[in-house]
Amino acid sequence: MSRLVLKGLSKAYGPVRVVDDVDLTLQEGEFVCLLGPSGCGKTTTLRMIAGFVEPTAGSISMNGEVLSAPGAVLPPERRRMSMIFQSYAIWPNMTVAENVGFGLKLQKLPAAEVRALTKQILEVVQMGHLADRYPAELSGGQQQRVALARAIVVKPAVLLLDEPLSNLDANLREEMRFEIRRLHDEFRITTVYVTHDQAEAMATADRIAVMNAGRIEQVDAPHLIYTQPRTRFVAAFIGRTNLLEGRLTKNDEIGLDGFTLRPAQLGQRMPDAAQPILLSVRPQAMSLSRHQPELREGWPVLPATVAQRTYLGESWDYVVRPQHSGLQLRVAAPPRQVHEVGEEVWLELDPQQIAIVS
């Protein structure tokens, strides 16, 4: 059963459409990330789902009931949704336990039940030992756990998160994104998560909706967003890639600058012969070696020169120039595979890791 459906959803401010004809369906218990750069419309979409912003066109429905349409918006407090903001929005004059139990008190539950549920959820988020502290006495990560506990304890139908980790340092962000996923796996609350951080989206989401200029460019599982991007924007925005232009030759091969590829080797549709072909080649789709590797059918092997290198700890990031070509390609290599700038190497491409994009 579908929990949440966005159909033709749009929002305009004057002549500017910040959200433009968005269609998205979330299934019961699904975790979907809205991912995109600043100004792409993801937060406005989230605020329309929450009921804070009225749509200009389209609708939002949950379990068949229309929550939002132009001129008819169900108030946020009647939507059975919880929202976590970038600033956490926990009350400084209340203890951790009082913050978490506040929503339960609004539901007029008996005091004993409020205490029991509050204690239970604080143990789940590993904050039970800090129940009597005030927010000013907590770290950023601890405050975020309080915000999560407060949002989950009321058992919302939908959980909304607006860039909740952006105020944390890198180590805490990594810890908390796995914590958010753990809590989702435990409670299975339908979740919409807004972020511009690709690592957050990849680590937390069942599906990622990549937004650009108010529109959704692609919705897919994280690994498909990365390995099979459908558009130039998605390929360039998600991770690092080399975008190469080519054309279909008379031999039904894709001709590139200095080598060719067979569409069948890519495992994808035959491209239109009349149009230029754009390929996304991830740095991990290529490998370097000092000696010419054994030839494999359909795998291009090119002599090349190392032009630049950057050590990233977990890998080397090389820029290589294939001989007899004007290309410059970024290639990822293991940390022990050290090549000097100016060194002659062999470059091998794995066609099964190359995607045709539109």
Q: At what angle do helices 140-153 and 170-187 cross, to 10 degrees?
A: 20
| Radius of gyration of the CA atoms of the chain, in A | 25
- Total of domains in the chain: 2
- Residue 234 within a domain: no
Whether 1 shows a pLDDT value over 60: the answer reads no
* Nearest to 74, CA basis, from 50, 107, 43, 100: 50
Look at residues 206, 229, 252 and tell me which one is the last residue of a structural domain.
229
d(CA 21, CA 19): 7
Could you read off the pLDDT of 250-300 as tens digits, one per residue?
Answer: 878 888 988 888 877 776 666 666 678 899 999 999 999 999 998 888 889
Q: Can you give the residue range of the structural domain that contains 153?
A: 2-229
CB 11 within 8 A of CB 53: yes
Q: Are strands 81-84 and 72-73 parallel, antiparallel or unpaired?
A: unpaired
pTM: 0.91
Look at residues 229, 254, 269 and tell me which one is the last residue of a structural domain.
229
Q: What percent of the chain has pLDDT over 70?
A: 97
CB 42 within 8 A of CB 51: no
Whether 50 shows a pLDDT value over 80: the answer reads yes
Whether residue 136 is found in the same domain as residue 10: yes
Task: Determine the pLDDT at residue 162.
Answer: 93
Whether residue 96 is found in the same domain as residue 188: yes
Whether 15 shows a pLDDT value over 70: the answer reads yes
Task: Determine the pLDDT at residue 323.
Answer: 93
Whether residue 264 is found in the same domain as residue 305: yes
Whether residue 225 is found in the same domain as residue 345: no
- Residue 192 within a domain: yes
Q: What percent of the chain has pLDDT over 90?
A: 74
Whether residue 211 is found in the same domain as residue 249: no
Task: Determine the pLDDT at residue 252.
Answer: 80
Task: Determine the pLDDT at residue 187.
Answer: 93
Task: Name 102's Cβ contacts closer than 8 Å, sequence gap at least 6.
Answer: 91, 94, 150
d(CA 350, CA 300): 8
Could you read off the pLDDT of 164-199 as tens digits, one per residue?
Answer: 888 888 888 888 899 999 999 999 999 999 999 999
Cα angle 184-199-336, degrees, rounded to a multiple of 5: 130
Q: Which helix (H) or strand (E) holds 43?
A: helix 42-50
* Nearest to 84, CA basis, from 115, 131, 50, 61: 50
Question: How far, in whole angstroms, is CA 52 from its chain's centroid?
Answer: 23
The secondary structure of 117-174, three-state, reads: HHHHHHHHCCCHHHCCCCHHHCCHHHHHHHHHHHHHHCCCCEEEEECCCCCCCHHHHH
d(CA 162, CA 47): 9
Hey, what's the torsion of the CAs at 167, 173, 175, 177, to 10 degrees? 100
Token look-up 């070509």 returns 325
Whether residue 65 is found in the same domain as residue 88: yes
Whether residue 311 is found in the same domain as residue 255: yes
Whether residue 205 is found in the same domain as residue 79: yes
For residue 195, give the CATH number of its domain: 3.40.50.300
Whether residue 136 is found in the same domain as residue 24: yes
Average of per-residue pLDDT across 87-101: 88
Most confident of 214-218, 238-242, 292-296: 214-218
| Chain mean pLDDT for the chain | 92
For residues 297 and 73, which has the higher predicted lDDT (pLDDT)?
Answer: 73
Question: Identity (one letter) of the amino acid at 84?
Answer: I
Task: Determine the pLDDT at residue 88.
Answer: 72
Whether residue 40 is found in the same domain as residue 74: yes
Task: Determine the pLDDT at residue 262.
Answer: 81
Look at residues 207, 229, 251 and tell me which one is the last residue of a structural domain.
229
Whether 103 shows a pLDDT value over 80: the answer reads yes
Whether 76 shows a pLDDT value over 90: the answer reads yes
For residue 293, give the CATH number of its domain: 2.40.50.140
Whether residue 78 is found in the same domain as residue 142: yes
Exposure class string for 149-182: b at 16+ Cβ within 10 A, else e: bbbbbbebebbbbbbbbeebeeebbeebbebbbe
- Residue 235 within a domain: no
Task: Name 324's Cβ contacts closer than 8 Å, sequence gap at least 6.
Answer: 258
In angstroms, the Cα distances linking 123 to 102, 185, 204 are: 17, 16, 22
Task: Determine the pLDDT at residue 61.
Answer: 97
Q: Could you tell me which residues are beta bridge partners of residue 351?
A: none
Whether residue 210 is found in the same domain as residue 150: yes
Whether 321 shows a pLDDT value over 80: the answer reads yes
Task: Determine the pLDDT at residue 269.
Answer: 65
